[in-house]
Amino acid sequence: RKVAEAKDRGDDKILRALVDSLATAQLRLDNLQKATRNAEFVDIELDRIEDKIKALVEMAVSHEDPDFISNQVDSVAESISHTEQAMREMTMLSNIDDDFEQGAPAILDAQLS
């Protein structure tokens, strides 16, 4: 609605600001959706890794082939690395959201004369 009003008035300055605000809001929405997908991935991945570790413990008792166990441990370590990367991305996005919740920077609170 505001965009249409700015167009009707021919106010390019306000129109650019509104369009930029919409683009920023879309970017934040995209980041939130990515974080949601990452959170789902991390939850599923942690369950999978836990099951894999339990299976490794059971196999270590019954298998005598150390190479087989080593390969399985390497596989779990790689899975953990991917999960940690997703968790770092979520933490980064979470920190960005915390910054937005703290409010506007002090410079924006200053009175203009």
Average pLDDT on 24-50 reads 87
Residue range 30-50: mean pLDDT, rounded: 86
What's the pLDDT at 102?
57
Which of the 8 DSSP states describes residue 104? S
Better-scored residue on pLDDT, 26 or 59: 26
What pLDDT does residue 100 have? 55
For the chain, what percent of residues have pLDDT higher than 90?
Answer: 6
Local confidence band at 103 (pLDDT 50, 70, 90 cut-offs) = low
53-68 b/e with 16+ CB inside 10 Å = b?
eeebeeeeeeeeeeee
pLDDT of residue 23: 92
More confident of the two residues 95 and 20: 20
Please state, in angstroms and rounded to a whole number, the distance separating the CA atoms of residues 100 and 113.
Answer: 27
- pTM, rounded to two decimals: 0.47
- Mean pLDDT across the chain: 79
8 A C-beta contact, residue 61 and residue 106: no
